Amino acid sequence: MKKSLVSVTRVSREFIVQTVMREVLDGTMPPGSRLVTEALAKRFDVSHTPVREALLTLSGMGIVEVLPNRGAIVKRFSPREIREVCDVRLALELLAVRSACGSIPVAPLKTLRAQFAKLAKPRTKVKVEEVRVASELDSQLHSIIRDHAKNQFLIRELNRIHSIVTVIRDAAWQQLVSEENLQRVIEESKQHLEIVEALIANQPKQACILMRTHLRTGKRTIVKAVLKNADE
């Protein structure tokens, strides 16, 4: 029973963290917005405990400033901070690729290769639902690399930054959807396909080169989207 309650609390906390981050990045919660514990508990239909834990997590990420007994205030998430998050992620991901290459089972990699190959096919129109598929496959690839890294501290740090990166990525994709600019799905899928092929071939150096290119391209897309939201 205790294990179940802990699991529910963790899921609730992570959901609150992701939701608040998403609303901060898309402008729904502008800088200076007050986050009151009781109001958030009612909104998410949870006790105060996961709300307090979520606010502490968000504070550690630099998203909010916690006020003793008064909830929290949304801080300004600047383009510079977005760039810094992306830079830290790049460094950690490259370490994970070097560590995991050769240890990842081939079968799931081949499955990912087939899925990325399908998305990478040249075409004039990309469907909106393909964005969701591309995002899910992106998470799967980075997760399988992370989970097979031979460094538990690295895995923990990548898990910690994953929540930030996922929400930032999704915000950038939503910006592209609103602009009907979905060719990025094809470009990103090609990059993912090349990374997977290097992992299958057990070529850590090549996989790192490809991952660096992929994340730097993604960084430009993300920063552009955040700047556009800030201007609006």
- Between these two residues, 97 and 31, which has the higher pLDDT value? 97
- Between these two residues, 160 and 134, which has the higher pLDDT value? 134
Contact partners, residue 201, CB within 8 Å, separation at least 6: none
Give 166-187 pLDDT, tens digit per residue. Answer: 878 887 887 778 777 788 899 9
Closest by CA to 90, choosing from 44, 35, 157, is: 157
pLDDT, residue 14, reads: 84
Strand partners, 72: 35, 66
Mean pLDDT of 121-132: 92
Class of domain 2-74: mainly alpha
Q: Tell me how far CA of residue 198 lies from CA of 7, 14, 94, 137, 191, in angstroms.
A: 36, 33, 13, 17, 11
Half-sphere exposure of 192 (CA within 13 A, CB side): 31
- Between these two residues, 232 and 147, which has the higher pLDDT value? 147
Asked if the domains 2-74 and 79-231 are classified in one and the same CATH topology, the answer is no
Query: pLDDT grade, residue 79 (50/70/90)?
Result: confident
| DSSP 3-state of 66 | strand
Using a 10 angstrom Cβ sphere, with 0-12 exposed, 13-18 middle and 19 or more buried, the burial of residue 90 is middle
Q: Which CATH number fits domain 79-231: 3.30.450.70, 2.60.40.150, 1.20.120.530, 3.40.50.720?
A: 1.20.120.530
Domain spans, the chain: 2-74, 79-231
| DSSP 3-state of 107 | helix
Query: pLDDT grade, residue 40 (50/70/90)?
Result: very high
Query: pLDDT grade, residue 7 (50/70/90)?
Result: very low
pLDDT, residue 139, reads: 93
Query: pLDDT grade, residue 9 (50/70/90)?
Result: low
- Between these two residues, 165 and 25, which has the higher pLDDT value? 165
Give the predicted TM-score (pTM) of the model. 0.80
> What percentage of residues in the chain have a pLDDT greater than 70?
92
